[in-house]
Amino acid sequence: MVNTALARRSSPVNLRLIFGVILGLLVLSFTLGTGAPAAHAASDVCVADSATGCFNGTIKGVGAGVKITIDGNGENVVVETDKSGKWNAAVTTAGTYTITLDEKTLPSGVTLKGDAVQTRDITLGFTKGAIFAVNGGDSGSADGGSTPTDTASQGFNWDRLAQQVVSGLRLGLLLALASIGLSLIYGTTGLSSFSHAEQVTLGGLLGYTFANVLGLNIFLTIFIVMVITGATGYVQDAVIWRPLRKKGLSLTQMIIVTIGLALALQYTFQMIWGAKTIRIMKNNPETFTIGPVTLTYESVWAMGLAVIVLILVGLFLLKTRTGRATRAVSDNPALAAASGIDVDRIIRLVWVIATALAGLSGVCLGLVLNGINWQTGMQLLLLMFAAVTLGGLGTAFGALVGSLIIGMTVELANFVVPGDFKYATALVLLIIILLVRPQGIFGRKERIG
Amino acid sequence: MDMWLKVIYDMSANMILPTTAAFAIAAIGLNVHFGFTGLLNMGQAGFMLIGAYGFAVSTIMGFPFWAATLVTIGAGVLFALLLGIPTLKLRGDYLAIVTIAAAEIVRMVGRASVLNSVTGGSNGLPGETYRNTFSALSPFPDGQTTILWFTFDNTGVNGWFIRIVAWSLVVIFAILVWLLMRSPWGRVIKGIREDEDAVRSLGKNVFAFKMQSLIIGGVLGAIGGMFYVLPTSVQPDALGRNMTFLIWTAMLLGGAATIWGPVLGSILFFALRIFIQGTVDIIVPDAILNTQQTEQFSWIMVGVALMLLVIFRPQGILGDKKELNFNV
Amino acid sequence: MSNATQKTATEARAELKSVPHTPGAPKPDAILVVDNIVRDFGGNRAVDVDHVEVQRGVITALIGPNGAGKTTFFNLITGFDQPSSAKKVFGGPSADKAAKWSFNGKLLGNTSAASVAKSGMVRTFQLTKALSRLTVMQNMLLGAKDQRGESFLAAFVKPLWAAQEKANIEKAEDLLKRFKLYEKKDDLAGSLSGGQKKLLEMARALMSDPVMIMLDEPMAGVNPALTQSLLGHIQSLRDEGTTVLFVEHDMHMVRHISDWVVVMAEGRVVAEGPADTVMSDQAVIDAYLGAHHDTDLGDDSLLEEGAMDAPKKEKK
Ligand SMILES: Nc1ncnc2c1ncn2[C@@H]1O[C@H](COP(=O)(O)OP(=O)(O)OP(=O)(O)O)[C@@H](O)[C@H]1O
Ligand SMILES: [Mg+2]
Most confident of B108-117, B140-149, B223-232, C129-138: B223-232
Q: Quick one: which H or E segment has residue C50? A: strand C44-55
| Residue spans of chain C under pLDDT 50 | 1-5, 292, 301-316
What does the pLDDT read at residue C17? 81
Atom of ligand 1 nearest to the CA of A445: 1
Domain that holds residue B232: 2-142+152-323
Task: Name the average pLDDT for chain B.
Answer: 89
Terminus-to-terminus CA distance in chain A, angstroms? 10
How many CB atoms are located within 10 Å of the residue C233 CB?
17
pLDDT score, position C305: 43
Q: Label residue A149 by pLDDT band (50, 70, 90).
A: very low
Instruction: Indicate if the pLDDT at residue A12 is higher than 70.
Output: no
Residue of A201, A152, A207, C41 lying closest to B114 (CA atoms): A152
Count of alpha carbons within 13 angstroms of residue B21, beta-carbon side: 25
What average pLDDT does range A6-24 have in this prediction?
38
Please report which residue ranges of chain C form alpha helices under DSSP H: 9-16, 70-77, 113-118, 136-143, 152-155, 159-178, 194-206, 224-239, 251-257, 275-279, 282-289, 300-304
The three-point CA angle B252-B254-B260 to 5° equals 125
Ligand 1 atom at minimal distance to the Cα of residue C217: 27
pLDDT band at A46; cut points 50, 70, 90: low
Kindly state the greatest CA–CA separation across chain A: 75
Beta-ladder partners of C49:
C37
- Using CB atoms, which residue from A128, A263, A381 is nearest to B299? A263
Residue B125: predicted pLDDT: 93
- What's the confidence (pLDDT) of residue B328? 37
Contact flag B184-C155 (C-beta cutoff 8 Å): yes
Q: CATH number of C3-130+209-315: 1.10.1140.10, 3.30.420.40, 3.40.630.30, 3.40.50.300?
A: 3.40.50.300
A42 confidence band (pLDDT: 50, 70, 90)? very low
Q: Within a 13 Å sphere around the CA of B280, how many CA atoms are in the beta-carbon half?
A: 20
Does residue B328 lie within any of the structural domains? no
What pLDDT is recorded for position B23?
95
Is residue B308 assigned to a domain? yes
pLDDT over 90 (residue B264): yes
Q: Which residues of A touch C127 (CB under 8 A)?
A: 449
Distance of residue C124 Cα from the nearest chain A Cα, in angstroms: 9
The percent of residues in chain B predicted with pLDDT above 90, rounded, is: 55
Chains B & C: contacts with CB separation below 8 Å: 109
Q: Give the closest of B87, B237, B311 to A46, CB-based.
A: B237
Question: Higher-confidence residue: C98 or A94?
Answer: C98
Compute the average pLDDT of residues A47-59.
Answer: 70
Query: Does residue A16 have its Cβ closer than 6 Å to ligand 1?
Result: no
CB atoms within 10 A of CB B148: 7
Tens digits of residue pLDDT in A267-285 = 999 999 988 888 787 666 6
**Residue range B228-234: average pLDDT?**
94
End-to-end Cα distance, chain C:
43
The DSSP string of B250-287 is HHHHH-TTSSSHHHHHHHHHHHHHHHHHHHHHHHS-TT
Per-residue pLDDT band for A389 (boundaries 50, 70, 90) equals: confident
Using one digit for the tens of pLDDT, what is the confidence trace for B45-57? 999 999 999 999 9
How many domains are contained in chain B? 1
Q: What is the dihedral of CA A30, A35, A36, A39, to 10 degrees?
A: 100
Cα gap A100→A117, rounded to integer Å: 4
What CATH number is associated with residue B161? 1.10.3470
Q: What is the pLDDT of residue A428?
A: 81
Residue B147 lies in a domain: no
Is there a domain that residue B188 lies in? yes
Phi-psi sector, B137: left (phi>0), alpha (psi -120 to 50), beta: alpha
Instruction: Categorize the per-residue pLDDT at A13 as very low, low, confident or very high, splitting at 50, 70 and 90.
Output: very low
d(CA A247, CA C262): 43
Instruction: Please judge whether C156 and B201 are an interchain contact, meaning their C-beta atoms are less than 8 angstroms apart.
Output: no
Q: Inspect the interface and report whether the beta carbons of B185 and C124 lie closer than 8 Å.
A: no
**What's the B174 CA to ligand 2 centre distance in angstroms?**
44
Q: What DSSP state is assigned to residue A323?
A: H
Whole-number pLDDT of residue A72: 73
Tell me the domain boundaries of chain C: 3-130+209-315, 132-191
Q: Encode pLDDT of A109-143 as tens digits.
A: 777 777 777 777 776 656 777 777 777 654 333 33
CB-nearest to B326 from A46, A252, A385 is A252
| Residue-range domains of chain A with CATH | 4-36+166-436 (1.10.3470), 53-143 (2.60.40.10)
Residue C42 CA: which ligand 1 atom is closest? 4
Type of residue at A22: I
What is the whole-number distance in angstroms between the Cα of residue C66 and the centre of ligand 1?
8
pLDDT of A447 over the 90 cut:
no
C126 neighbourhood in chain A, CB within 8 Å: 449
Ligand 1 near C66 CB (within 6 A):
yes
Is residue A14 pLDDT above 60, yes or no?
no
pLDDT in tens, C111-127: 889 999 999 999 999 88
CA distance B312 to B321: 11
Confidence of residue A49 (pLDDT cuts 50, 70, 90): low
- Of A22-26, A34-38, A140-144, A383-387, highest mean pLDDT: A383-387
Partner residues linked to C45 by β-bridges: C40
Tell me what ipTM this predicted complex has. 0.86
CA closest to B207 among chain C residues: C114
Q: At what angle do helices C136-143 and C194-206 cross, to 10 degrees?
A: 30
Percent of chain B whose predicted confidence (pLDDT) is above 70: 97
- The CA-based angle A325-A329-A331, given to 5 degrees, is 115
Looking at residue B221, its amino acid is G
Among the ranges given (A35-44, A302-311, B28-37), the one the predictor scored with the smallest mean pLDDT = A35-44
The whole-angstrom separation of Cα B328 and Cα C188 is 11
